[in-house]
Chain A
Amino acid sequence: MTQKSQGFDDRTMEVIISRLLQVGVLLASLVVLVGGVLYVSAHAGGWPDYHTFKSEPENLRHLPGVGRGVAARDPASIIMLGVLLLIATPVARVAFAVVAFAMERDKLYVAVSLLVLAVLLFGFIHSS
């Protein structure tokens, strides 16, 4: 079990992490909601056809494209910013765990967390 004398143990880590996750989800939901309201008011017309798969436009599939869209106040890009924030939340959780395990001086789990972080970043950067 972990040492309680250090003042920072697994339990404290879990409480902080759960707060981090909640804040992340709340923030992402708010951004998605704002984007959604703008999206509905901009697309007064019909429902897009989702029956056939066409893949999303290029600019909504990468971070720089979404960034440019948000700067231009494009509703779809604002929604995707919220989605990106949501995806970043568990990634931030793992990044925080790296720091927390380092504070506990647990080298094994610093390495394990770094490995998970590397796999996550690989999935995000590698695209094909």
Chain B
Amino acid sequence: MTLAVVGALLFLGALLAGLLGALTGLGGGVVLVPLLTLVFHVDIRYAIGASLISVIATSSGAASAYVREGYSSIRIGMFLEVATTTGAIFGAFLATRVQTEWLAIIFGVVLIWSAFLSWRLAHNPVPDLKHGSPWSNRLRLSGSYPGPNGLPQCYEVERIPAGAAMMFVAGSLSGLLGIGSGAVKVLAMDRLMRVPFKVSTTTSNFMIGVTAAASAGIYLHRGFIDPGLSVPVMLGVLTGSLLGARYLVKARVSLLRTVFTWVILALGAEMILIGVMKQL
């Protein structure tokens, strides 16, 4: 096949990955890496390199839509980015040293865990916290967001060290696997620190780009980022996720979400299987 034909197929695949990622709320990377490795037979190191680039594009490209909603907290984001970027550098160092079979197995496990997390986070809401840790105010992490009646709802946060530790994990997974690991970031904010759900998801989107940028330099120096793959993947995922975000606003697509969650679980299982088979 010629370069142009494969490029076009890759663009379409990446578009689908971006669309699925936006609709399931998991991000483009988790669909893209299995697609590149399982369907296009791309080495997993090239796949995570291309995925990381698309993660930065998606996070930054969707930023204005999130800001308009008026929920994200720049202070919580910046504070926790200290942990995610440090984790991302640690993860990227690991990625250059871990065997590819193990990368595939870890990827599969994280994929299934993320799908489970995002399902549970969306279906079991926890009430906002009125009085958090005294450090919430000292570190200026307390804030407010527009409530249902238009009045600002104030919130405080708690368990800040535990949240930061989970953010280090989220950053490590992002750097190791070239994904945004948004579900783990939301877990840290929503469940551990009790940041309101809407604030958690929008702040997570901002953090994803900065986290990915921390490991991108290491990927680049290591030769994980290929120009021929970057073009269709980056443009495809970006287009797909922007379309997905728009479609998601128009209709609540719960059936589609359920179907896609099963698709993601199947992809995760296949990644584990491939990794294990290569080990034997």
Contacts and interface: CB of A to CB of B under 8 A. Distances in A.
Interface of A: 1, 10-11, 13-15, 17-19, 21-22, 24-25, 28-29, 32-33, 35-36, 39-40, 43-48, 50-57, 60-62, 75-77, 79-80, 82-84, 86-87, 89-91, 93-94, 97, 106, 108-109, 112-113, 115-116, 119-120, 122-128
B88 to A, nearest CB: 7
A8 to B, nearest CB: 13
B125 to A, nearest CB: 24
B78 A109 contact: yes
Given A55-B222, A108-B140, A120-B210, A90 B74 contact: no
B86 interface: yes
Contact of A22 (B61, B210, B213, B230): B61
B209 A89 contact: yes
Interface size class for chain B?
A: 35 or more
A83 B221 contact: no
B23 interface: no
B217 A35 contact: no
Given A36-B231, A47-B1, A10 B75 contact: yes
Contacts of B53: 83, 86-87
A109 B209 CA distance: 19
B82 A112 contact: yes
Chain B interface helix/strand/loop/mixed: helix
Chain A interface helix/strand/loop/mixed: helix
B78 A18 contact: no
A114 to B, nearest CB: 10
A62 B64 contact: no
B235 A120 contact: no
B228 interface: yes
16 contacts: A14-B74, A17-B67, A22-B63, A29-B234, A32-B234, A50-B43, A53-B43, A62-B221, A82-B230, A90-B213, A97-B78, A112-B82, A116-B81, A116-B82, A120-B210, A123-B217
B169 interface: no
Contacts of B78: 94, 97, 109, 112-113, 116
Contacts of A97: 74, 78
Contact of B2 (A25, A35, A47): A47
A47 B6 contact: yes
A116 B232 CA distance: 30
A1 B69 CA distance: 18
Contacts of A50: 40-43, 46, 226, 229
Interface in B210-261: 210, 212-218, 220-232, 234-235, 238
B223 A55 contact: yes
A46 B238 contact: no
Contacts of B143: 1
A40 to B, nearest CB: 5
B144 interface: yes
A18 to B, nearest CB: 4
Contact of A123 (B2, B41, B214, B234): B214
Contact of B227 (A51, A76, A91, A93): A76
Contacts of A127: 217-218, 221-222
